[in-house]
Structure 1
Amino acid sequence: MINDIWTVFWRDWLVLKRRLGRYVFARMISPLLYLVAFGWGIGRNISVGQSNYLDFIVPGIVALNSMTISFNAVGSPLNMSRLYHKTLEEYLIAPIGAVSFVTGKILAGVLRGMISSAVIICLSFLFGAQFLVNGYFLLILVLNCALFAALGFVAAMYLNSHEDMSNFSTYVLLPMSFLCATFFSTSHFPKVVRWFIELLPLTHASQALRSVAGGGAVSFLSVAVMIVYFLLFFGVGIWQIKKMSD
């Protein structure tokens, strides 16, 4: 199984390796705009608790960016492969199990999400942000990348056009990008709205990363919620591949 997972992952790594420089440079553009606008622009005049707004927002940006990159790294190519290039069939007829295929694709999405997150973290330190990056921070970040890579896999297998993938991002990822404690606290929302938002995985990722980055305790409840989401998406992805193989 490990060899099969490595085979699937290695194929995606070779594609990324050929354009790694351009990929890293492209990942710098959006974080730079966020850091300039919210760090130098708004952040200098706003304090959040005992820290400034730049320190507050960076974990949210990391959570948001890792969500988007990991989802798109798996969802868009797999959707194109299934519907247009018809290369997914090559995996289905190969002696690679469903668990190995799904795991390899998710790991490829995690890799891209972690590279993008590393770019943001480095840029944030250059902008003067002060936050802690430790084992718990990396664990939560990897888990966030994994669950949204798994969600990208599920979406790619269910949705039947590139337009549907774009609509999914608009209706699901975009609202989470702004509401799930990325740019501001959810404490001022009405109770019903806050209850719904706190069910979403990105909320737990943002809050857990922010807590650890500020030197606080890790929220094992948030970690547990993220694990449940990952296992759900992972299981559905395996079921989809097995269904196609039958």
Structure 2
Amino acid sequence: MRGCLAIYERELLILRKKFFRQVASMSVGPLLYLIAFGLGMGKGVEVQGHSYMEFLIPGLVAMSSMIQAFAIASEINIARFYWRIFEEFQAAPIRNIAYVTGEVLAGITRALLSIGIILLIGLCAGVFLSYNIFFWLAVVLNSFLFASLAVCMAMLVKSHADQALLTNFFITPMAFLGGTFFPVDRMPPWAQKILHFLPLTHAAHAIRSAAFGLPPESFSYLLLAITGSILFVLAFYCVNKAKE
């Protein structure tokens, strides 16, 4: 437990040191999307009985929680390749499960911070949705999934270039095709079948349904929880292999 808290506290100290830069960075993307897609292209458009702005906010929450949770991989890589802190963890009496848990919690924290910024921007734009327990449960599960994936991938890559490739070929396409900006059911049937394999598609659906006050669909929550748990175990395995 102490080892987990030590890892988590270290990440929080790094986040606090560059807090205002992080907040500014987290604000730019969602603000541009809201202006360009919400106020520009989506003005006067209704989707699923809601204004496009109301449709867009939950999608941005799903996308941002994914991106910011996965971004913990960059912090891990900096610690591994430049500061050699991972080698110090190897020598310290910190269990691997504590290391993985601390880093995953740090990724979830980053994601929740970015979501708070998006919801604040949405409130300023006059968008009021239902941020109930199912909304936050979907957010946490989505963040947990991608933070676990981040730890796993950070142990496998050999350089920042490899990390950039993962982001460009996996995270970025998912951000635009996972039901963030448009309903997946408007895609061709063959594309819908492919997109339903993406975890972000289910996260966006669960978050949006909860935000609209609709009854939760247990399948999306169950899929996120199971996938996240599998990735967490894989992250633990990858840390074990990296320490050998």
Partner of 1:176 in structure 2? 174
Give secondary structure in 1 for the equivalent of 2:53.
Answer: helix
Are the counterparts in 2 of residues 39 and 127 from structure 1 also a CA contact under 8 Å?
Answer: no
- Deviation track 1:189-232 (CA, whole Å, cap 9, x = no partner) reads 23232112111110011000010101101121101111111111
Give 1:225's aligned residue: 223
Q: Contact conserved, 2:155 with 2:242, CA < 8 A, in 1?
A: no
Q: Any residues of structure 2 matched to 1:199-214 within 5 Å, and which?
A: 199-214=197-212
Q: Secondary structure at the match of 2:43?
A: helix
Paired residue secondary structure (1:45): coil
Larger mean CA deviation between 59-68 and 186-195 belongs to 186-195
After superposition, residues 19-30 of structure 1 pair within 5 angstroms as 19-30=18-29
1:185-200 alignment runs, 5 A limit = 185-200=183-198
How high is the TM-score relative to the length of structure 2? 0.96
Gaps of 5+ in 2: none
Helix, strand or coil: the match of 1:38?
helix
Query: Following the alignment from structure 2 to structure 1, what is the Cα–Cα distance between the partners of residues 81 and 25?
Result: 27
TM-score by length of 1: 0.95
- Which residue identity is paired with 1:70? A
Provide the residue aligned with 1:140 in structure 2: 138
Which is further off, 184-193 or 49-58?
184-193
The 3-state SS of whatever aligns with 2:42 is helix
Pairwise mapping of residues 1-246 of structure 1 onto structure 2 (< 5 A)? 2-72=1-71, 74-246=72-244
Cα distance, 1:128 vs. partner? 1.3
Paired residues of 2:178 and 2:204 also in contact (CA < 8 A): yes
Identity fraction in percent? 33
How many residues align structurally? 244
CA shift for structure 1 position 86: 2.0
Please report how far the alpha carbon of residue 186 of structure 1 lies from its aligned counterpart in structure 2 after TM superposition.
1.0
Alignment RMSD (CA, Å) = 1.2
> Structure 1: which 5+ residue stretches go unaligned?
none
Deviation at 1:174, TM superposition (A): 1.1
1:244 offset after TM fit, Å? 2.9
Comparing 23-32 and 121-130, the one that deviates more: 23-32
Q: Check conservation: 1:131, 1:214, Cα contact below 8 A.
A: yes
Give the C-alpha shift of residue 36 in structure 1: 1.1
SS of residue matched to 1:44: coil
Provide, for residues 161-191 of structure 1, a one-character-per-residue CA deviation record: whole Å limited to 9, x for no partner.
Answer: 1111111111101111111110001112232
Residue identity opposite 2:160 in structure 1: H
